[in-house]
Amino acid sequence: MATNSALLLDREFLKTLEQVTLLCRTNLAGAVGPEHRSRTRGPGMEFADYRRYSMGDDPRSLDWSAYLRLGKLFLKIYETEQHIPVRILLDRSESMDCESPGTAESKFLYAQRLAATFTYLALLHLDTAAVIPFADRLNKPLIVSGGRDRLWPVLEFLSGQSAGGGTNLFGSVKEFMGNFTSRGIVILISDFFDEQGCQRSVEMLRSAGHDFVLLQVHSAEEQRPTASGELILEDVETGAQRTVECSPQSTATYERRFLEFSSRLRRLALRNGGRYARAVTNIPYQEFVLKSLRSGQVLA
Amino acid sequence: MNWMTLSPLEVAAIWAGLGAAALWLYLHHRRPQRRKVSTLRFWASVQAVSQPRRRKVREPWALLAQVLFILLLLLALANPRWGITTEGRNVVILFDTSIWSQARPAGETPWIDRERAEALRVIDSLPAADHVLLLRAEADAPPILPFTTDHAALRRAISGVQSSSVPTDVPRALDMGRAALAGSRRGLLVYVGPGLLSDEQAHNLDAFRASLQTPVENGPQPQFLMRLVGNDASIDDRGITRLSLRRDAAQPNRWHLLTQLKNYSAAKSVVVLKLSIDGQTLGQHAVALDADELGNTENDFVWDKGGTLEAEIGPPDALDADNRAVVHLPAFRSIHVALFAAGGKSPFATNLLSVLSSNPYVDSEIVFPGMPLNGPPDVAIYQGTSLPENPAYNSIYFLTGPGPADSHPVRVTQWNPQHPVTRWVRTHDISVRNPATLTVSPGDTVLASTDDTPPQPLILAREENGHRLLIVGFDPHNSNFPMESAFPLLMAGGLEWMTHSVDEAADAVATGELDLPGPVNRIVAPSGKDVPFARNGASVHLLAQETGVYRVIAPGGVETSVAINTPLLPAQRVSATPAEMAGVEGEPRQAVGSDLWRWAVLLAMIVLWLEWWLYYSSRERQRTVETPEISGDASAQYLDGEMDETEESEYRKPNFVAR
C-alpha cells in the first residue's frame, strides 16, 4: 500500500525528536564518530578520567600540568563518541497490511512511521542509517547519511513500499548478515507472525554482535478480536482457512495465546541480549516513541 | 367462536404456516462471516467448526413454546366463549334537545324536563342487560352516551343533558339510530321529544315508518317507539326568523331593515317589535300576526357608525330563544380621492370629478400644484407621461403616449374578467388614440390590451411598496371611453380594489351548520366556549348551537363578529301511532358464553416468556459446555509455557517495552 510521504511524520514530532538520542548498549569497536554517546573510553572531546602512563600510550594525551605538580605521568582519558550504523529491518509482508475492522491505521503504516522515526534519529546524530524492507526475502535497501536533510529520500522510499508476500524472518536476517557485515544497531520492526518462528533469526543477530531491538507491532483487534459467531478465517499470507465459533470464552483463550506469544518473543530478545518493545496501533506512534521507547531505554 | 370469517381449516392452515416459519427460524443459522487475518496460529486453540452443521433444532422446548404461543394468539383472535350467560338487546334512545326543547308553556314544566322524565321511564322499563345508546335527535345525531348497560350512568347523562338552539332533524337521526342497531338481533329505537318537524321532515318520517315494515337482509327491523311531550294547544310562540339589512344606494348611512316574524300558535296575536343598536333604542311598533302567519315588517333608519342591531319582540311566550335576534351593522366611511391636476383649469380633473361625484361612497377633491392636501387620500389620481419612482398612495395613473393626439385609433379588447377592477367591464367598442407603451413588470396583471398583433397592454394593475396602482395607458380625452358606461364601472372597480368594498348588506345567520370565510384561528360562542370547526379550503365549517354574537379570531388576532339567530322553526307536530306509543316489547334473551380471549392472551404472554427463558437458558448451557472443550484443545501444544498471573497482567498493557 503506497502511502503519501507527507503523512508519515509531522513537523512538531520531528522537532521533539531533536532532543532524543538512540541509545546503544553494546561496545561496538571500530565504530568511531563525532556525535554518538557510548560507555566506551577512547579518543574524543569529553574528558572521562585519568590513568597512569604506560609504555606505548599516545604521548599527546599526557597531562603535563599534572606532571609539573606531581612529577608523575598521567594520561587523560576521554569518552569515545561512536559512529554507529543503524539498520532498520522493516517487515512488509502481507500480514502487516491486514486491515482489522475499527482500526485507525494499518500495522504497515505504523511500522513505516517507526522506521522513519529511527532513521531520522540516526541522521540527527550524523550516523549512517539503512532502511531494509523484507518479506519472504530481503529487498533493496536505502542507505542514507549526512544529517537530517536526508530524511526526505527516506520518506519517499518508505512511501514507495507496499505490503505483500509471506514472512521469512530467518531467510531475510541471514541475507542481511551477508550484506551488512559490520556491527551496529539493528531495529527489527515486524509482527513476527512467521510460521517458522523467530528464534534462529534472533540468535543469528546476537552471534553477529549487533545491538538489536525487536519491535513487535500489532493491532488491538489482533490481541482481542471483537467478532462473534461463526467465522471463516483466512490467513492472508498462506491462504489457509479455518472455521471457528467465536464466543467470549474463545476470545479470552485467543487473547491468552497471543499474550503468551508476545511473552515468548520478549524472553527471546532479553535472553539474547537484545531489547523488546510492543506497539499497539491504536496508540499514537508519537506517544509510543516519546514515552514507551524512552522509558524502555531504547531512546534517551 | 368468531373465526374472523375464516373456516377452522383455514385457521389451522394459518397456524401451520406460522409454526413452519418459527421452525425455519429455529433451524436457520446465520451465514458465517468471512474475515482475513494476519495469522491463524492463535485461532488454533479456538473450537473449530470443521464440517457443515447438521440442521437440528437446538432448543426444541423453546420451539414448542413458540408454536403454542402462536396457537394461543390465534385462539385469542378467534374469541372462543365458555359457559352460558344471557345477553340483552341493543336500544337507541333519540333524545330531542333541539330548540323546541327549551319551550316552557305558561303554567307547565319546561319540555326538556318532561323529555327527561319520559326517557327515564323508558330506561326503567328496559331489562338490566340491554345495551342503551343515547343520541341527540339532530342532523348529525351526536352521541350523549355510547352503548352501555349502566343504568345509573344513563340516568346521570339524561339528567345532565342540556337544550341546544339547533333545529331538529328527526328522520335523519332515526336513520342513524337504526344504523347503530344494524347487524344485531331485533333492537329498540325510541324517540323522545316534542315531535315538531318541517314538512319535508314529516314526509321523510313517513318514509322511515314505511321502511320499518319491509324486512332487510342484515337483521330484523327494530321496534320503533315515540314518546312525545307537549301538545298542539301548548305551542304559544312568536319568533323572529330573519333580520336583513340593506344600505341605501343613494345615501350610504341610511339602512333598510327587513324583519321576518312567525306566529307558531293557533291564535291571532299582536307582538311589539323593538329595535335598538348597541343599547340605543331606534323605535318600536306593534305587528299583528294571524295564526301560523309568517309576516314581514320593514323599517328605515339612518346610522353611519357600526354596531349590533338588536330586534326583540314581546310579550314573552313559551319559547324565549326566538324572541330576540341580532345582526352586525357594518361601519361606513367614505373614500377620500385626490385628483392631482396638472395646472390651471384642468379639463381632465374636472371631467373625472364629475364622474366620481356620482358615486355617493366617494369624497373627491381636486389638488392643484402647490395646494396642500386635505389629509392623506385613500386614492390619488394622476395624469402624465411617466410613472413616479415611489408612489405614496394607492393611485390611478392616466399615461399619454408620445405620439400626436390624432394618431390612428386602436381598439381596446381582452378585458380581464377575473380581476376585480375589470370584472364588470365587457365592452368591445372602445378605441383610443396615442396610447402609451406600458412595461409589464413581474407581478403585474394586464387588465386590457390593444387588438394589435401582438397585443400591447393598455391597462395594468400593480402592487408596489404596499400600495395598489392602476395604470391606464391612454388619455380618456383621446378615446371614446368616458362616453361608455364601462368607464364609471372601471373607476368604481378600481376604487373598490384599492380600498376594499363598503359592505352594502348584512344578514343574520341561523344556527346549525355554517361556512365562514377564513382563515380562522378560533371561534368563540356567546357562552364563551370555543367552537370546534373544520377547515375547508380557505373557509371554515362549524356547527353553531347557540344564538348570539360569535367572536371569530383570525391569524394575527384580528377579530370579527358573526351574529347567529334562530331560524324558522319546524312547526308541524307529528302524531304517534298506537304501536309507537305502546310499551317496550319483551324480547327473549340470547344465550351466549363468556369471552375467553383475555385468558388466551394472558396464557400466550406466559408461554412467550417461557419460550424466551428456555431459549436463553439453553444457549447459556451450551456455552458453559463449550468452555472446557476449548481448554482441552490439543492445538495449544506448540506453546512453550504458560504465563503467570503477574506477567499476563503486565502484558495486557499496550506498548510494552522490555530491556
Contact assignment for A253 to B659 by CB distance below 8 Å: no
pLDDT of residue B244: 86
Question: Is the pLDDT assigned to residue A142 strictly greater than 90?
Answer: yes
Quick: pLDDT tens for B526-580: 888 898 888 877 788 888 888 888 888 988 888 888 888 888 888 888 888 888 8
What is the CA B654 to chain-centroid distance, rounded? 70
Q: Is B35's Cβ below 8 Å from some Cβ in A? A: yes
DSSP A55: T
Quick: pLDDT tens for B604-621: 999 999 989 988 887 777
Residues in chain B closer than 8 A to A237 (CB atoms): 38-39
**A222, A264, A266: residue with CB nearest B38:** A222
Q: Is A199's Cβ below 8 Å from some Cβ in B? A: no
Residues in chain B closer than 8 A to A99 (CB atoms): 36
Q: Is A228's Cβ below 8 Å from some Cβ in B? A: no
CATH superfamily placement of domain B238-329: Immunoglobulins (2.60.40.10)
Contact assignment for A296 to B36 by CB distance below 8 Å: no
Contact assignment for B651 to A262 by CB distance below 8 Å: yes
Question: Is the pLDDT assigned to residue B628 strictly greater than 60?
Answer: no
Domain ranges of chain B: 1-32+49-80+596-626, 87-234+572-590, 238-329, 335-499, 508-565
pLDDT of residue B511: 82
ipTM: 0.80
B335-499 CATH: 3.40.50.880
Contact assignment for A98 to B43 by CB distance below 8 Å: no
What is the CA B565 to chain-centroid distance, rounded? 21
Mean pLDDT of A124-142: 91
Beta carbons within 8 Å of B270's beta carbon, 6+ residues apart: B286, B287, B288, B289
**A231, A233, A247: residue with CB nearest B626:** A247
Whole-number Å distance between alpha carbons of B116 and B158: 6
Helix (H, G, I), strand (E, B) or coil at B524: strand
What is the CA B216 to chain-centroid distance, rounded? 34
Burial degree of A238 (CB within 10 A; 0-12, 13-18, 19+): middle
Please compute Rg for chain A using Cα positions.
22
Residues in chain B closer than 8 A to A220 (CB atoms): 654
- Block residue for cell numbers 345615501: B251
Mean pLDDT of B380-407: 81
Contact assignment for A293 to B630 by CB distance below 8 Å: no
pLDDT of residue A31: 47
Q: Residues 96-155, chain A: which have Cβ within 8 Å of B? A: 96, 98-99, 107
Q: Is B34's Cβ below 8 Å from some Cβ in A? A: yes
Contact assignment for B29 to A292 by CB distance below 8 Å: no
Residues in chain A closer than 8 A to B655 (CB atoms): 277-280, 283, 287-288, 291-292
Domain ranges of chain A: 5-25+85-218+254-295, 41-79
Question: Is the pLDDT assigned to residue A214 strictly greater than 70?
Answer: yes
Asked if the domains at B238-329 and B335-499 fall in one CATH topology, the answer is: no
- φ and ψ of B249, to 5 deg: -70, -35
Question: Is the pLDDT assigned to residue A266 strictly greater than 80?
Answer: yes
The DSSP bridge pattern shows strands B445-450 and B457-464 to be antiparallel
Quote the minimal CA–CA distance from A69 to chain B in Å. Answer: 46
∠ CA B308-B314-B318, nearest 5°, is 110
Contact assignment for B630 to A229 by CB distance below 8 Å: no
Best mutation target, B635, B643, B651, B652, to test chain A (most A CBs within 10 A): B651
Residues in chain B closer than 8 A to A236 (CB atoms): 36-38
Residues in chain B closer than 8 A to A231 (CB atoms): 32-35
Residues in chain A closer than 8 A to B626 (CB atoms): 245, 247, 249-250
Quote the minimal CA–CA distance from B621 to chain A in Å. Answer: 13
**A229, A275, A296: residue with CB nearest B33:** A229
Q: Is the CB of residue A57 less than 8 Å from the CB of residue A128?
A: no
Helix, strand, coil percentages, rounded to 5, for chain B: 30, 30, 40
A5-25+85-218+254-295 CATH: 3.40.50.410
Helix (H, G, I), strand (E, B) or coil at B421: coil
pLDDT of residue B116: 92
Residues in chain A closer than 8 A to B656 (CB atoms): 262, 266, 277-278, 292
Mean pLDDT of B376-403: 83
Quick: pLDDT tens for B17-50: 988 888 888 777 667 788 888 888 888 877 676 5
Q: What is the dihedral of CA A292, A296, A298, A299, to 10 degrees?
A: 60
> Closest-CA residue in chain B for A107?
B38
Average pLDDT, chain B: 81
- The CATH architecture one would assign to domain B87-234+572-590 is 3-Layer(aba) Sandwich (3.40)
Contact assignment for A249 to B626 by CB distance below 8 Å: yes
Whole-number Å distance between alpha carbons of B275 and B308: 11
Q: Is A29's Cβ below 8 Å from some Cβ in B? A: no
**B636, B642, B655: residue with CB nearest A283:** B655
pLDDT band at A140 (very low <50, low <70, confident <90, very high): very high
Model-level pTM? 0.47
